[in-house]
Amino acid sequence: MTSRPSRPLPIYLAAGSIFAALAARAFITPLRIHELGGDKVQVGLLFSVFTITAAGLSLPAGFLADRFGRRSLILFSIITGGVAQLGMAAASSVGPWYIWQLLAGLGGGASQAALFAALADAAPGRRLGRAMGWLTLSMQAGFLVGPALTGLSLQWLGLQAALAASTALFAVALVATVFGIGSSRPAVRKKWDLAGPVRQIVGRREFLPACVGLLSATLLWGTLQTFLPLYGKEQLGLPATQIGFMIALQAVANGLSRIPVGRLVDRMRRRGPLVIASLAGFAVCLAVFPHLSGFWPTTALLVLSVPLLAIVYVALGVAFSNLATDETRGVSMGIYGMVLFIGLGVGPAVFGTVMQHSGYVVGFTACAITGLLLAGLVALRPSLPLAGRARQHGAAGPLGGNAGEL
């Protein structure tokens, strides 16, 4: 197979299509599980099965992306995701969903590490924040298109058929990957040494604050997104089409913020205070969220608050990329994916149980307080530095003078 470099545009298209399919599944899952007789605890556990599996495999997937190239891992993600989605659509009880979520988690861990590593390879280092902004914009476009198309299809299809139809989005990602993402990979070590790259990355002084900040963000985001469909149905009394529209408007606001956010991150030398302030602001909004009623007040709060997390994700994506060299970037983004999926999995499992027994107000408030405490840990502990000139790993490469600064 001829080796060729990747271009950013096909990476954006593949990412958007994959995330559109995942967003469609996330939208349908709580409603379908409720239709099958499941409760909030089962909804939270099902999301946790996916995210914990993806978390456990993100680091090995990043290592394999460094060894065999980014495209191989992206193709693996697309195939496993499509098969899992069809399996869920065919299931007539809650039990089989756990198996299919495990398979989907395999693909999820691979795609997160490989897509971010592929983009860091293709994009110039001094504009990496903007490239991350465009990549996450593509993902947010997927979060818009997936629920919007699925919500629209529910006017003619049942939940089961709509989930099956959403699998077609993986086909778009497949075409973009095969014809647009190169098979080339960076030079790698002859030995299968995962411990060395991990020690190199973990030893960086920016590593711990980046991990704690990312964990805080994903706990908040994962809990909100998992239970937003059920909250809209049970607490707000909205029909499925309006719930899909609410999620779509949130995705529009999230996506539109990504490009200016990327430019802001590229210009900031001290990103730590920006990350902490954004985390705290979003946590406060989450605490207010269950006290609102009606479609428009709730949607307005979502639209105003999600750009705060956009700042966090873009800044930390750049920070994790800058922790690595070209040879170890897959491992670094694998660690990023691992922490991300841990937060996305733990949040719904823990706070879903709280909501089941104590209601939405207590559950969302407990989640917000936890996010604030983690953000405070990053801000208050002097052993977790937030900025400063990073050590260089050999040649500076495309990362530029700000490499490693959070």
Alpha-helical segments (H) within 235-328: 240-267, 272-288, 295-322
The reported pLDDT for the residue numbered 197 is 82
Euclidean distance between CA atoms 111 and 259, whole angstroms: 22
Question: Tens digit of pLDDT for each residue in 49-90?
Answer: 887 888 888 888 888 888 777 888 899 999 999 999 999 999
Alpha-helical segments (H) within 6-69: 8-35, 40-68
Quick one: DSSP state of residue 127?
G
Give the helix, strand, coil percentages of the chain, each rounded to 5. Answer: 80, 0, 20
Euclidean distance between CA atoms 45 and 225, whole angstroms: 14
Other C-beta atoms lying within 10 Å of the C-beta of residue 365 = 21
Query: Mean pLDDT across the stretch 223-244?
Result: 88
pLDDT surpassing 60 at residue 392:
no
Question: Which residues, 6+ apart, have CB-to-CB distance to 48 below 8 Å?
Answer: 345, 346, 348, 349
Q: What percent of the chain stands above pLDDT 90? A: 32
On whether the CB atoms of residues 7 and 155 are closer than 8 A, the answer is no
User: Which pTM does this prediction carry?
Assistant: 0.77
Sign of the dihedral through C-alpha 182, 183, 187, 191: positive
Set out the domains of the chain in order of their start, with CATH numbers.
Answer: 8-183+196-388 (1.20.1250.20)
3-state secondary structure of 22: helix
Token pair for residue 329? Answer: 């970037």
- The dihedral region occupied by 193, where left means phi > 0, alpha psi between -120 and 50, and beta the remainder, is beta
Judged on CB neighbours under 10 Å (0-12, 13-18, 19+), 362 is middle
pLDDT surpassing 50 at residue 134:
yes
Euclidean distance between CA atoms 161 and 158, whole angstroms: 5
Euclidean distance between CA atoms 342 and 51, whole angstroms: 6
Token pair for residue 279? Answer: 């985390």
Query: Mean pLDDT across the stretch 365-376?
Result: 95
Mean pLDDT, the chain, rounded, equals 83
Question: Tens digit of pLDDT for each residue in 219-233?
Answer: 999 999 888 988 998
The reported pLDDT for the residue numbered 384 is 42
pLDDT band at 124 (very low <50, low <70, confident <90, very high): low
Residue labelled with tokens 């604030």 = 372
Euclidean distance between CA atoms 193 and 66, whole angstroms: 11
One-letter identity of residue 13: L
316 CA to centre of own chain: 12
- Return the closest-CA partner of residue 84 out of 25, 42, 143: 25
CA–CA distances in Å: residue 172 to residues 11, 190, 258, 367, 394: 12, 35, 23, 36, 39
